[in-house]
Amino acid sequence: MFQKILIANRGEIACRVIKTARKMGIETVAVYSDADRDALHVEMADEAVHIGPAPSAQSYLVIDRIVQACRDTGAQAVHPGYGFLSEREAFAEALAKVGVAFIGPNTRAIAAMGDKIESKKLALAAKVNTVPGYVGEIKDADHARKIAADIGYPVMVKASAGGGGKGLRIVHKESELVQAIQSSQNEAKAAFGDDRLFVEKFVTEPRHIEIQVMGDKHGNVVYLNERECSIQRRNQKVIEEAPSPFLDAATRQAMGEQAVMLAKAVGYDSAGTVEFIVDKDRNFYFLEMNTRLQVEHPVTELTTGLDLVELMIRSAAGEKLAIAQKDVKLEGWAMEARVYAEDPYRGFLPSTGRLVRYSPPAESATVRNDTGVYEGGEISMFYDPMIAKLCTWGATRAEAIAAMETALDEFRIEGIRHNIAFLNAIMHHPRFRSGKITTAFIAEEYPDGFHGRPLDHAAKALFASAAAAATRIRDGRAAKISGTLNGAHEPDGVVVSLDGEAVETAPLTVDWRPGDKLMRAGGKVIQIAPVAGGWQLGHGGMHATAIVRGARAAALAGLMPKKVKADTSKLLLCPMPGLIVSVNVEQGQEVKAGETLAVVEAMKMENVLTADHDVTVKKVNAKKGDSLALDDVIMEFA
């Protein structure tokens, strides 16, 4: 067994690997860029090595610097995590040349399956059912047009290297194809250093279901059941679960056996994931194989009782798999919700800044939180916006969902925008709870974006009563301070308005003290924070501002003029802190609705800003290469 391993990654996955290594008695080495000097994974590791500037292309993607870090520290093996160099054959080869083990599959498997084009060719040769498309690299836009015309729209333009939704675009008509190719190439080049693309048919009403496989260097491969990953936004997974609510035992076995067959065809000897698209009739098509540990691996661990990182390390050290297929369990149900630094109320645009408050729910037998951040830490614009992976386990799917709802209510983040309310709204959504989901779930259920889960009558009553109770408790404590006026006495009671609407209150017994960020009332957890004249409240993906006044003050407030928001309809504002990749129009140009105005890059993703109606450009304030803050004016319209 290794005495020391280096983790060639950052964030939550680096922390996750360190935890298992520590459990196994193995020393760890972290690597870090300028932006990650104070990161959690650096603090957790036994040693840390600086490898370059903040951009990943100058640090985490530089093979020579990782290899040198191994030499300098005497690390005997490297765990690559996911993303970055995890699926790069050249990285594994460079490590082998200096006698360092790669905690992942052999280079032949990486080459054959890590490349999306080559893996499709191999799957076709092995008679595995694959998605229709052109099996090969597209040469240019004209070549892509011909392929798309042959197989029919909609199509997917996909990066041959990497994954995680980077370099992937769904194209519904020919006019969108050129921009999709350009953005996919740019993203793939930035994220993986490889801009090769291919085109395949987009299966309608699809589910994204994947099989976890695990192999060793002695020819043994088992499958560790499936994960349902259909809840996606912009092809990025948001919520995953194990098992899938859609598969029956026969389909699970058929998919598992096919995944094992494919893995054995390339002598696969580590953790890997075979991804399938499954249609409404449970027909499944091989999509790709990820030759690495997946982001969503915790739900498999929670339902099988296995530590996948430990299995990877033991396999890399030459040990035989300690389990056979008959030993693989499937106990209970697990959910994973990806907590992102993004604003769901502004089109899910990335959010950067300092975590003024980071207070996750307490971990237990039913709650697990994999993270790489801490309170006071910085969310950088240079990397993926994931803050944490919140996981819950239950004996049934309903119990796992209920545990997730409570855990999300208990998760407190301040200082940046985040998607916790959105995740909780999905947990409460009737369609999600029914299990009748596809990869189009978010697009179909939130076609105009997310605006918060609507408050029902019960929620309004709960919020209003909670606000009144909080005011009573706070004022009651203030009244006990000597030498102050008695502010707790309201002769005519209080009037509570929720987002401008008067709501009746009822007596409510609560567990709360002034200053607490969570209130427990009637078996529910409410997030609560003071605002001018009242409280900001949240529960179950619902939010409201409650203003609490005495009867006289409420009557006078009704006479106050309403503040009118500034008109920004003639401005294109930068929707997030980011870098201008291109400005596609010039002053005086007439632009049609749907045409591209500019492209902004943030957190490794390109965001195409389009005109929502016909406009004439009056002034262009930004140029390619400019670094802009949130709401900076990119251009003005006549």
Cα–Cα distance for residue pair 328/324, rounded to 1 Å: 7
**Segment (H or E) for 568:** none
Cα angle for residues 366, 370, 371 (degrees, 5° grid) = 140
Please enumerate in sequence order all residues whose Cβ is within 8 A of that of 254, keeping only pairs 6 or more positions apart, or say none: 284
Euclidean distance between CA atoms 315 and 595, whole angstroms: 51
185 in Cβ contact with 152 (< 8 Å): no
* Residue 327 φ/ψ, nearest 5 degrees: -85, -10
Q: DSSP string of 383-411?
A: S--EEEEEEEEESSHHHHHHHHHHHHHH-
DSSP 234-269: TTEEEEEEES-SS--HHHHHHHHHHHHHHHHHTT--
Pair type for strands 27-33 and 367-371: unpaired
Six-digit token string for 42: 């650096």
3-state secondary structure of 460: helix
Q: Which amino acid belongs to residue 19?
A: K
**What one-character-per-residue DSSP string does 84-129 give?**
TTTT-HHHHHHHHHTT-EESS--HHHHHHHHSHHHHHHHHHHTT--
Burial of 632 (0-12, 13-18, 19+ CB in 10 A): middle
User: Amino acid identity of 76?
Assistant: Q
Cα–Cα distance list, 564 to 161, 465, 529, 567, 575 (Å): 49, 29, 25, 9, 21
Q: Does a cis peptide bond (omega within 30 degrees of 0) precede residue 243? A: yes
Q: Is residue 545 classed exposed, middle or buried when 0-12, 13-18 and 19+ CB atoms within 10 A define those classes?
A: middle
Whole-angstrom distance, CA of residue 69 vs CA of residue 63: 10
The active-site residue out of 288, 296, 342, 405 is: 288
Omega of the bond leading into 55 within 30 degrees of 0 (cis): no
Burial 365-404 (b: 16+ CB within 10 A, else e): ebbbbbbbbeeebbbbbbbbbbbbbbbbbbeebebbbbbb
Taking the chain, what is the end-to-end CA distance rounded to the nearest angstrom?
69
3-state class (DSSP) for residue 45: coil
Query: H or E element: which one contains 314?
Result: helix 308-316
Question: 232-267: b or e for each residue (b if 16 or more CB lie within 10 Å)?
Answer: bbebbbbbbbbbbbbbeeebbeebbebbbebbebbe
| Active-site residue, 504 included | no
Pairing of strands 578-583, 571-573: unpaired
Answer for the pair 185, 156: CB distance below 8 angstroms, yes or no.
Answer: no
Distance of alpha carbon 595 from its chain centroid, rounded?
28
Report which of 236, 355, 254, 248 is spatially closest to residue 296, judged by C-alpha positions: 236
Task: Report the C-alpha gap between 618 and 590 in whole angstroms.
Answer: 10
Residues marked active site are found at 288
